[in-house]
Structure 1
Amino acid sequence: MEFSRRLFVISESLATDDLAALKFLSLEHIPLRKQEAIQEPKAFFQALQEKALISDSDQAFLKELFYRINRMDILVCHLGSSREEMERELQIPGRAKVSPFRYLLFQLFENITTEELKCFKFLLGKELPKSKLNTESTMIDVFTEMEKKGILGEDNLKVLKSLCEKVDKSLVKKIEEYELSLCGQEEMLCTEGQSSSVILGITADRTIRPASFLASDSPARHQQYTQLEVYKMTSRPRGVCLILNNHNFERVGAEVAGHKLKDRKGTDVDAAALRKVFSKLHFKIAEYKDLTAKEIHNVVKRYQHEDHKDRDCFVCCILSHGKKGIIYGVDGQEVPIQELTTSFTGQNCHSLAGKPKVFFVQACQGDARQQGVVIEVDSAEQDSSVETDGRLHLDFIPSEADFLLGMATLQDYVSYRSPSHGSWYIQSLCQHLEESCPRGEDILTILTAVNEEVSRKLDTQNAGKQMPQPSFTLRKKLIFPVN
């Protein structure tokens, strides 16, 4: 009964797209003819139970399915597992039940944009019935029809590869990795004499950890496999860049513990720099200025419920006063940082599941001033007219994957803002994004350079230093292409 109740709760949290993905990944186990009658999640779970694929004592396949479709919220909250545990489990030979071929197609589906889908349908106009290429058809539907027509299969990727060459060459790389894994399978069969069932298990796992397979392979091939995947970043716009910019606190007389909050002079310089750089990176800019706590909640809720289906990323930049775990509205009321970040988890904002969510916070994390040590430098021109942004301590980043949180400073320390030139952190961040993104550098490399630059600055009045701190649960490289 407990297992049935759990399946019921899970089914209530699944969208139509989730069910379609689960059914597609299960095609080797539940035939298409039987799947066509399944229109809701409860019937799908019942079919899995009838096939003895899941039970109260064996939930491995269920966990694998939700891991594959990036529903980490369900995996953690309802199935008692985690991304790390699944990665370990699926490295065990023979453990994976989703075939490498099926997972390859699902990965392609996840990376194909709406416009690219239209191109695929157009190019397949003579191969597939028009009724199967209507506006409602997804890429999963297209793959299914291609399999029915015999122009797509585990060892028949010629047509698919040709289509990807015409539509998006980056998709070809995934197909080539799959083909290379099949070559590796043949090599293992020849040199080690292992059974095909064991090999198939290893091959399935290589879609997750490809570097763990052919350790003795050629250096060039090994290097190709050890490279991290890159988050898809091809949509236009890439996504929303939400800027919450609180400047005028004195006008409304905002007070905290009997102390009036000062205006944040220089924050508009930061906001302008953020607008400029993220516009160049093809983000849709949404800036809100001088919001009360309630207004901040309302704005975040609006973008939480917005449909991000055709966007690849979400960015939120927070510029305000704060203290431990919160930021202030211009009315001096508190907004917990945790509420802002968790609003965009896969569970709370399903259209951003599996996509990178990036937060940059310009605010202090305490009152302490970091003292520098004497080092030799070539030259340094510092602005001694700097201010701090109150007290903010942020010890929370969602445990779910695909988050990046860039903090202006370390825990317990102040961060600096020039009334005329903007904050050290945001100005350095924007400069490095503008210079490094055209070179194809990933965000963590860029943030390391920001750390280096900001750490060299000095508040000459107080001999204060600042050290930014990024935290992240990213699974892939995050690169913002300018083209």
Structure 2
Amino acid sequence: MDILSLSHIDEELDSFEVAALCFLCQDVLNRKRLENVREGRELFLRLREKDLLKNSHFLSQLLITIRREDLLSYLETDSRQPEQESNPQTDASPALSPYRTLLYQVSEDVTQENLNKMKFLLSNKLAKGRLDLCTTALDVLAEMERQNHLSEQTLEVLEETLMECDAQLALKIKQYRTGGFLLRETVPHINQRGNNLQIPVRPSVTVTQPSSEDGERLFTDSDPVSPSDSIGYYPMTHNPRGWCLIINNEHFETNELTNRPGTEKDKSAIASVFSRLGFKVKVFDNLTAAKMLKEVEDLGKKNHFDADALVVCVLSHGEIGCVFGVDGKRVPLRSLTFPFTSGECRSLAGKPKLFFIQACQGTGYQRGMSPAVSPEQTEGRGTFESDAGPVQSIATDADFLIGMATVDECKSFRNTKEGSIYIQELCRQLERAGPSGENILTVLTCVNNEVSRGEYLRYKQMPEPKYTLTKNLVLPFI
């Protein structure tokens, strides 16, 4: 590579980017050789001395990893591409290590608040004098490596530290340890001189997918790979995550509304999965309309500053735009969500609020193209019932998600022995997604798929999530 091109790149790099490049080069250059590097040209000289700039492949990897693809136009290449070298594993054509790239990607997402918390949590492991000199997350990671608390084989301390600061970042480390790796592909690029240059695309993620006995698979989201990822994620950094309120109405005081056998199964399943997801679960059985309103209003008045999210699950009968208390009186769905809107509950502003409503949305039945024979109603298996009455209205405020058991004007089904079709499938999918880092909307799409494939009393059921979420939401197990 010519000196003029390297000089142009040097002029464009700031001190933080040079520090990032030095960190990424620690697997190919001696750490001592990098300690006093402050300018891009100093790094390039050291790379040239090691014959690491024989072609542009390695430098292009570095620039793309730090998100400076705009500088690739300065790069030239010889007629041979790295994959055509007789020995592509030589130092002349090195590749960035997935481990070091992972650390860099993690450092990019560490906020100043979390950086300070990391330093505090590591103060009993790292020398205080050295730790005080760390001003960036990369500095902390480098110091952890220097003091033998971090390596490609020993990621546990970093994972434990990040779990206290940002569960999403900790999840990346866990997934890397359990089989994830970063894969770089190459795409043609034309530089400013018209030469064809092979460069790696932005790091994307490929993982081996080990399956457990129950078919569980692990995936990684260690780098944004789709436009939807650019909107960011809701932080999940607290333990506990927040409150999960369950209102379970089974025994009704009015003859107009029948009891709801099987709902105990739903209550237990919800309590179990959201406990594992880190929520404090609060259960109320058989509430009147007035008591339902009081409980949600009291919860809305609590201080949620140390919470990441809120979950409310209502299991009851319903009618258009409302659910019923056990006294047969209506509670508008809007009355359930209103106490948690930004204006009413400031400590939940900008945080996800999830509502799951097990109730029909109408008196009609949804038919499939080829209705199946009604399920056998043998003793001990229970029978299917519908939770009559629709629940339709949703809050339009930001950061709400309302999972409905069925679409408008149709009934949903509950097995008197095993619980409702929707809630049971929802809990199964949340259990499956807990270790994998799936977006909640992906989880709910899987719920839709599974429920819609079944046949219940000759009819179909189609759940419907409605949401005003503004970020990606992942609910990992604690």
Contact 2:387 2:411 in 1 (8 A): yes
Contact 1:326 1:336 in 2 (8 A): yes
The yes-or-no answer on 1:108 pairing with 2:111 is yes
Contact 2:262 2:417 in 1 (8 A): yes
Q: Distance in 2 between matches of 1:109 and 1:289?
A: 43
The yes-or-no answer on 1:248 pairing with 2:259 is no
Q: Which residue matches 1:417?
A: 414
| 1:116, distance to aligned residue in structure 2 (A) | 5.7
Contact 1:113 1:235 in 2 (8 A): no
Q: Distance in 2 between matches of 1:349 and 1:114?
A: 28
| 1:340, distance to aligned residue in structure 2 (A) | 1.1
Decide whether aligned partners of structure 1 residues 230 and 394 sit closer, same or farther in structure 2, where only a CA change above 3 A counts: same
Decide whether aligned partners of structure 1 residues 267 and 438 sit closer, same or farther in structure 2, where only a CA change above 3 A counts: same
Q: Distance in 1 between matches of 2:340 and 2:331?
A: 16
Q: Which residue matches 2:433?
A: 436
Q: Which residue matches 2:162?
A: 168
| 1:433, distance to aligned residue in structure 2 (A) | 1.4
Q: Which AA in structure 2 matches 1:310?
A: D
Q: Which residue matches 1:119?
A: 121
Decide whether aligned partners of structure 1 residues 469 and 389 sit closer, same or farther in structure 2, where only a CA change above 3 A counts: same
| 1:342, distance to aligned residue in structure 2 (A) | 2.3
Q: Distance in 1 between matches of 2:340 and 2:112?
A: 22
Q: Which AA in structure 1 matches 2:351?
A: K
| TM-score scaled by length of structure 2 | 0.56
| 1:271, distance to aligned residue in structure 2 (A) | 0.3
Contact 2:371 2:455 in 1 (8 A): no
| 1:397, distance to aligned residue in structure 2 (A) | 2.8
Q: Which residue matches 1:388?
A: 386
Contact 1:113 1:310 in 2 (8 A): no
Aligned pairs for 1:65-464 (under 5 A) are 108=111, 112=114, 119=121, 152=135, 159=139, 167-168=161-162, 218-221=200-203, 224-227=223-226, 228=229, 229-249=232-252, 252=253, 254=254, 260-374=256-370, 385-400=383-398, 402-460=399-457, 463-464=458-459
Q: Of the candidates 467, 474, 477, which is equivalent to residue 472 of structure 2?
A: 477
Decide whether aligned partners of structure 1 residues 222 and 269 sit closer, same or farther in structure 2, where only a CA change above 3 A counts: closer
Q: Which residue matches 2:9?
A: none
Query: Equivalent pairs: percent with the same residue?
Result: 38
Aligned pairs for 1:32-47 (under 5 A) are none
| TM-score scaled by length of structure 1 | 0.55
The alignment of Structure 1 onto Structure 2 pairs a total of residues equal to 308
SS of the residue 1:464 aligns to: coil
Q: Distance in 2 between matches of 1:160 and 1:428?
A: 43
Task: List per-residue Cα deviations over 1:429-459 (Å, max 9, x = no partner).
Answer: 1112112322322221111111111112222
Decide whether aligned partners of structure 1 residues 323 and 219 sit closer, same or farther in structure 2, where only a CA change above 3 A counts: same
Decide whether aligned partners of structure 1 residues 282 and 115 sit closer, same or farther in structure 2, where only a CA change above 3 A counts: farther
Larger Rg: 2
Decide whether aligned partners of structure 1 residues 455 and 391 sit closer, same or farther in structure 2, where only a CA change above 3 A counts: same
| 1:403, distance to aligned residue in structure 2 (A) | 1.6
Q: Distance in 2 between matches of 1:115 and 1:268?
A: 42
| 1:395, distance to aligned residue in structure 2 (A) | 2.8
Name structure 2 gaps, 5 residues minimum. Answer: 1-106, 145-149, 151-157, 171-190, 193-197, 206-222
| 1:421, distance to aligned residue in structure 2 (A) | 1.1
Decide whether aligned partners of structure 1 residues 266 and 107 sit closer, same or farther in structure 2, where only a CA change above 3 A counts: same
Q: Distance in 2 between matches of 1:217 and 1:451?
A: 41
Q: Distance in 2 between matches of 1:354 and 1:234?
A: 14
Contact 2:382 2:416 in 1 (8 A): no
Q: Distance in 2 between matches of 1:470 and 1:396?
A: 10
Decide whether aligned partners of structure 1 residues 370 and 299 sit closer, same or farther in structure 2, where only a CA change above 3 A counts: same
Q: Which AA in structure 2 matches 1:368?
A: G
Q: Distance in 2 between matches of 1:157 and 1:422?
A: 48
Q: Distance in 2 between matches of 1:330 and 1:285?
A: 21
Q: Distance in 1 between matches of 2:309 and 2:320?
A: 28
Q: Distance in 2 between matches of 1:113 and 1:160?
A: 8
| 1:243, distance to aligned residue in structure 2 (A) | 0.2
Contact 2:319 2:388 in 1 (8 A): yes
| 1:373, distance to aligned residue in structure 2 (A) | 1.0
SS of the residue 1:405 aligns to: strand
| 1:351, distance to aligned residue in structure 2 (A) | 1.3
Decide whether aligned partners of structure 1 residues 266 and 376 sit closer, same or farther in structure 2, where only a CA change above 3 A counts: closer
SS of the residue 2:305 aligns to: coil
Contact 2:382 2:417 in 1 (8 A): no
Task: List per-residue Cα deviations over 1:151-189 (Å, max 9, x = no partner).
Answer: 75xxx7754666999642887979xxxxxxxxxxxxxxx
Q: Distance in 2 between matches of 1:226 and 1:280?
A: 28
Q: Distance in 2 between matches of 1:309 and 1:413?
A: 38
Contact 1:114 1:310 in 2 (8 A): no
Contact 2:318 2:360 in 1 (8 A): yes
Q: Which AA in structure 2 matches 1:269?
A: K
| 1:302, distance to aligned residue in structure 2 (A) | 1.3
Higher helix share: 1
| 1:268, distance to aligned residue in structure 2 (A) | 0.9
Contact 2:319 2:391 in 1 (8 A): yes
Contact 2:287 2:325 in 1 (8 A): yes
Q: Distance in 2 between matches of 1:308 and 1:275?
A: 20
SS of the residue 1:348 aligns to: coil
